[in-house]
């Protein structure tokens, strides 16, 4: 595919500086740029490197100075770059139709141009919307709903009754709607609590590889619109994640926790059960949020247990000085003993 600089600028609502008629055949890193490549330069340092490369066009921030290369000037270069990448590398879907090895149950509703890969199993009373792509080895339980333009990559499992919205992307190995971790002790044994609720994935969600999201005990586990979940994340039963929130790799969210809108959960964060996070909360990497904790809108926390980030920073700074402080305390103690000895004499 070949587009002019002017055409790309219109797509990203940017301003052209230089020759807008230059043809662009590819999107490249600065290191691998060739003639007719477009590259991203978010900072002045990267812009200098891009200027020295073989690229024909640089996508950069508004206000950048004149250049011997064509520039596309935008407010948010990284977001614009993502749109350009989609232009040159549109999402790949399987060929419409069902592979002969697929097993499809009774009363299944298939939309137009649905692609069903090898060794897929689809249960009874499943509804699949238009242009859905189901990769090899996926298992779709009875009564599931998958809406239009959703992509399930290989070996995704949807347990019974799971509902997946429009334009959702689920990466390989994810397990959606499995039983929540619900047990009650009695007479030295663990009695399983039946998990009879469902899991609802709303529109425009992306779920990473090997993510596990549990169904509700009763009612619904809900992943809100536009949520992005990294690989290896665990989300417990009856959790509600608000729209446009992000959860990074190896995070775990305990049952009945509520995550507000546009929250950021960093890598290896552990959130216990019955926690409430307001909107726009940020939880720093490797933090631990205690059971029942409530965080206000816009709060930024870090540490284990998680506390306001400035307090955590002060604590870590103090810990770094502990060896010196211990030496000072020991020296003061020796002086005190010496003074007491002199006083007695």
Q: List residues with catalytic annotation.
A: 237
CA atoms within 13 A on the CB side of 274: 2
H and E: helices and strands count for the chain: 5, 41
Lateral strand order in the sheet of 282-283 = 97-98, 115-116, 133-134, 151-152, 169-170, 206-207, 228-229, 246-247, 264-265, 282-283, 300-302, 307-308
- Residue in the structure block whose two tokens are 């899991």: 199
- Residue in the structure block whose two tokens are 């003061």: 332
Q: What phi and psi, each to the nearest 5 degrees, are found at residue 149?
A: 65, 20
Contacts of 83 (CB under 8 A, 6+ apart): 11, 12
> Tokens in use for 279?
């909107």
Q: What phi and psi, each to the nearest 5 degrees, are found at residue 341?
A: -65, -45
Contacts of 225 (CB under 8 A, 6+ apart): 165, 202, 203, 204, 205, 243, 244
Q: What does the DSSP 8-state code read for residue 89?
A: S
> Tokens in use for 24?
């662009």
CA pair distance 319, 341, nearest whole angstrom: 33
CA pair distance 270, 272, nearest whole angstrom: 6
């Amino acid at each position: 595919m070949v587009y002019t600089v002017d055409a790309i600028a219109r797509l990203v609502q940017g301003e052209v500086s230089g020759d807008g008629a230059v043809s662009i055949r590819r999107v490249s890193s600065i290191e691998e740029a060739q003639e007719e490549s477009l590259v991203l330069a978010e900072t002045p340092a990267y812009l200098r490197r891009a200027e020295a490369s073989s690229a024909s066009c640089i996508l950069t921030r508004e206000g950048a100075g004149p250049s011997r290369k064509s520039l596309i000037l935008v407010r948010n270069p990284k977001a614009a770059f993502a749109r350009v990448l989609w232009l040159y590398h549109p999402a790949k879907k399987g060929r419409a139709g069902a592979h002969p090895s697929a097993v499809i149950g009774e009363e299944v509703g298939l939309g137009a141009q649905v692609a069903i890969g090898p060794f897929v199993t689809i249960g009874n009373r499943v509804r699949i919307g238009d242009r859905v792509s189901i990769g090899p080895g996926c298992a779709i339980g009875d009564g599931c709903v998958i809406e239009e333009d959703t992509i399930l990559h290989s070996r995704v499992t949807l347990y019974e009754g799971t509902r997946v919205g429009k334009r959702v992307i689920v990466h390989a190995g994810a397990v959606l709607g499995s039983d929540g971790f619900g047990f009650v002790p009695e007479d030295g044994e663990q009695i399983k609590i039946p998990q009879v609720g469902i899991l609802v994935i709303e529109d425009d969600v992306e779920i990473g590889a090997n993510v596990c999201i549990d169904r509700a005990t009763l009612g619904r586990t809900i992943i809100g619109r536009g949520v992005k979940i990294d690989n290896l994340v665990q989300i417990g039963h009856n959790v509600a994640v608000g729209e446009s929130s992000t959860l990074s790799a190896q995070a775990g969210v305990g049952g009945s926790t509520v995550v507000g809108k546009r929250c950021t959960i960093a890598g290896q964060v552990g959130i216990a059960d019955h926690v409430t996070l307001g909107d726009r909360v940020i939880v720093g990497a490797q933090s631990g949020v205690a059971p029942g904790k409530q965080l206000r809108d816009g709060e930024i926390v870090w540490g284990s247990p998680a506390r306001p980030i400035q307090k955590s920073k002060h604590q870590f700074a103090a810990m770094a000085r502990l060896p010196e402080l211990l030496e000072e305390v020991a020296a003061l103690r020796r002086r005190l003993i010496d003074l007491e000895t002199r006083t007695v004499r």
